[in-house]
Amino acid sequence: MKSRNLWSVIGAVALLGVLLLIFIPGSKQPAPAAEPAQPLKPQQEHKAKHFTMQSDIHATHQLNRLDAKAHLHKMLSNESLRNAGQIRLYTQNEQKTHKHFQQVRWYNLKQNKMVDIQGQLPKLSKDDKKLISHHFQIAQQKLKQGEAYDSPKFVAAGQPYFVVAEPSKDRKFGAAALVNQAVLHEVSNHQKRNLRLIPYPKEGKFKVESVHADTLSDITVKTGHDNEKASHFYENEIVVSFQQDPTKEQLLDISKEISCETPRKLGYAYVFRSKEMDYQQLRSYFEKNWETKYTEPHYMYLTNDRIPQTMSNTGSLPEQANAQVNIPNDLLFSQYQWNLPVIETNRGWDLSRGSEDVIIAVVDTGADLTHTDLAGQLVDGYNIVDKEKKPLDDVGHGTHVAGIIGALVNNGEGVAGVSWYNKIMPVKALDSSGSGTTYAVAEGIIWATDHGAKVINMSLGNYADSQFLHDAVKYAYDRDVVLVAASGNDNTERPGYPAAYPEVLAVAATDSNQKRAEYSNYGDYIDVAAPGTNIASTFPGNQYAALSGTSMASPHAAAMAGLIRSLNPNLTNQEVMDVMTSQTVDLGDKGKDKYFGHGQIDIFRALQAASTPEVPLQMWPGRTLLNLEQELRKLTRPQTIDGE
């Protein structure tokens, strides 16, 4: 590969540790004067970050309860699973990829029979076994009464567990599962480092200045520019995903029975609007009469009633954009993914859902290559840490980032990614400790560039300005790659790299109130802000977790770049970044500021701008010059550093 010669051109390299947005600390910085509230004292900042971490842990706990129930429903709705042998084989196959389902019991409630399938249980004491048995007994009693069961969280063999049980629709069968929640410890340990609640790396010493911590509200679904805290939905509508799509005749029968006009289909789901029934009545009707995968309210976004202030210079909705907002049927979307509606992702899907031709590389800890919510979304990647192995994620960070970008949308489970169709290229540059060298990250950037990446996300950084890393960044930039990086979680104004390089789009973090996240780094180099607090996404072992950090904010912007390049492949990397920074929601001080940059990203507005057939006048000089430069490079570029 020709790009390898770049190493000899650059020369010797100092192997500076690069952390996954767990930056090497800098000197103490003055409190930001532009913040509306008084700066927090160090103890207050620590308390605020601790609360953010606890919010992540609580959300992760709830995510996994919902996911466990969904698996039981799927099992119960499979009519081929009615004898012990079939049930045992099915469950054992599930346990191979879902190791946290450590024990499953299937009940034939009419015949009073039970099949017990044990997975990889730890060594349990008598008291542990007694406690688990107690919860299974309660679950069985509830199932016989036709009711579900949710146990409180409890500890067995030093690990957190819960038992959940669900009856079948006809109440003839039931299923219960013992679910290991070791993922809570993983999230806790991860976020203690990520939010700097403990020194990281262990030998490091750091002290950061405090700022006011914005209060974290409950997770809600809201419009991109709506500050209301409540979720809104159409009271006479319902979104339904069926086990099997109804025929035209069946849809007509439904329409008559609920007094509905022709339903609208969104992906795998249907939206029904009744003239006489409210949401609760509609839900009762469908659960009683139809086999459904999922029913949910039809949430609405208050953007069609009036032109928001932030849309004042773009006018009304374009003709090609549907007045109806896309609501995916992914299980965790409505309750936990506040981050997508707040940046107008759903409306943006009417303009672009991505393209397989535009690959987004994730230079990180790798990815869970077998996660069901990433199935078909990944292309071949590269493991720099161990070149003989695949880029498997042994930390969880890279899998979470990948899910934010491109978790399967409208598959009825898990979370929805920002992009439907952009492929993700996992490049493992960070090891099992979540750290790596400047060399590894630089090699990852160049490898991804040489293998077709059009966008590169880097949720990692270091405060050292490495020329070697900068050369790698420029190598990618000169080949028309959009580079996106997280600003860091130290609440400091000291520039972090690669985010602070001029060729890179630097991303700060916001919370669900569209306030600056208390951990987010700031400075004049910040370009945009994106959601970063309590972000639900994929996690290794076919699990889901909520994490906070600018690591989570950056992939929102990277996925947005992928959508733009899919919609208008003629735009150069700089033009893509110009669109992203010019079509934002202005937060904080008017205009560009050091906390939010140009503002919070707005996917719909950016795609509107990118879809214009003509190149905007302000971009024309840059485009012309860049095209000229590229033509000159073809004539003068030394072959020793040509990676093509």
Higher pLDDT, 637 or 493: 493
Residue 183 has pLDDT above 90, yes or no: no
Reported confidence tier of residue 412, pLDDT bands at 50, 70, 90:
confident
Confidence at residue 56, expressed as pLDDT on a 0 to 100 scale: 85
Higher pLDDT, 324 or 115: 115
Measured between alpha carbons, how far is 285 from 254 in angstroms, rounded to an integer? 10
Instruction: Tell me: cis bond preceding 201? Omega within 30 of 0 counts.
Output: yes
Residue 572 has pLDDT above 80, yes or no: yes
Confidence at residue 185, expressed as pLDDT on a 0 to 100 scale: 82
Structure tokens at 486: 């997280």
Pick from 248-252, 300-304, 528-532: least confident: 300-304
Confidence at residue 38, expressed as pLDDT on a 0 to 100 scale: 36
Over residues 553-577, mean pLDDT: 97
Over residues 429-446, mean pLDDT: 86
The fold for domain 233-326 equals Alpha-Beta Plaits (3.30.70)
Confidence at residue 384, expressed as pLDDT on a 0 to 100 scale: 93
**Which part of the chain is CATH 3.30.450?**
48-184
Is-contact 175 76, C-beta < 8 A?
yes
The fold for domain 2-37+341-614 equals Rossmann fold (3.40.50)
Structure tokens at 465: 């300005």
Residue 4 has pLDDT above 90, yes or no: no
Confidence at residue 49, expressed as pLDDT on a 0 to 100 scale: 75
Percent share of the chain, pLDDT over 70: 75
Reported confidence tier of residue 198, pLDDT bands at 50, 70, 90:
low
Confidence at residue 549, expressed as pLDDT on a 0 to 100 scale: 92
- By the 10 Å C-beta count (0-12 exposed, 13-18 middle, 19+ buried), 281 is classed as middle
Confidence at residue 116, expressed as pLDDT on a 0 to 100 scale: 94
Has domain 48-184 been given CATH number 3.30.450?
Answer: yes
Confidence at residue 483, expressed as pLDDT on a 0 to 100 scale: 98
Reported confidence tier of residue 269, pLDDT bands at 50, 70, 90:
low
Is-contact 115 87, C-beta < 8 A?
yes
Active centre residues (catalytic): 364, 397, 551
Reported confidence tier of residue 210, pLDDT bands at 50, 70, 90:
very low
Q: What is the pLDDT of residues 581-609, one digit of tens each?
A: 999 999 988 999 999 999 999 999 999 99
Reported confidence tier of residue 41, pLDDT bands at 50, 70, 90:
low
Q: What is the pLDDT of residues 46-105, one digit of tens each?
A: 777 778 888 888 888 888 999 999 899 989 999 888 888 999 999 999 888 899 999 999
The overall average pLDDT reported for the chain is 79
Reported confidence tier of residue 489, pLDDT bands at 50, 70, 90:
confident
Reported confidence tier of residue 639, pLDDT bands at 50, 70, 90:
very low
Confidence at residue 555, expressed as pLDDT on a 0 to 100 scale: 98
Q: What is the pLDDT of residues 97-138, one digit of tens each?
A: 899 999 999 999 999 999 999 998 999 999 999 999 999 999
Measured between alpha carbons, how far is 203 from 44 in angstroms, rounded to an integer? 24
Confidence at residue 394, expressed as pLDDT on a 0 to 100 scale: 92
Closest CA to 190 of 436, 558, 551: 551
Best mean pLDDT range from 24-28, 232-236, 456-460: 456-460
Over residues 22-41, mean pLDDT: 37
Residue 165 has pLDDT above 50, yes or no: yes
Q: What is the pLDDT of residues 349-370, one digit of tens each?
A: 999 999 999 999 999 999 999 9
Residue 342 has pLDDT above 70, yes or no: yes
**Which part of the chain is CATH 3.30.70.80?**
233-326
Cβ-Cβ contacts under 8 Å for 240 (sequence gap 6 or more): 269, 270, 271, 272, 286, 290, 292, 294, 295
Over residues 134-155, mean pLDDT: 95
Reported confidence tier of residue 212, pLDDT bands at 50, 70, 90:
very low
DSSP for residue 215? P
Confidence at residue 438, expressed as pLDDT on a 0 to 100 scale: 79
Partners of 161 in the β-ladder: 154, 180
**Which part of the chain is CATH 3.40.50.200?**
2-37+341-614
What is the distance between the terminal CA atoms of the chain, rounded to a whole angstrom?
8
Closest CA to 598 of 489, 488, 507: 507
Pick from 309-318, 507-516, 552-561: least confident: 309-318
Q: What is the pLDDT of residues 512-555, one digit of tens each?
A: 989 999 889 999 999 999 999 999 999 999 999 999 999 999 99
Is residue 632 classed as helix, strand or coil in its secondary structure? helix
Pick from 143-157, 289-303, 473-487, 627-641: least confident: 627-641
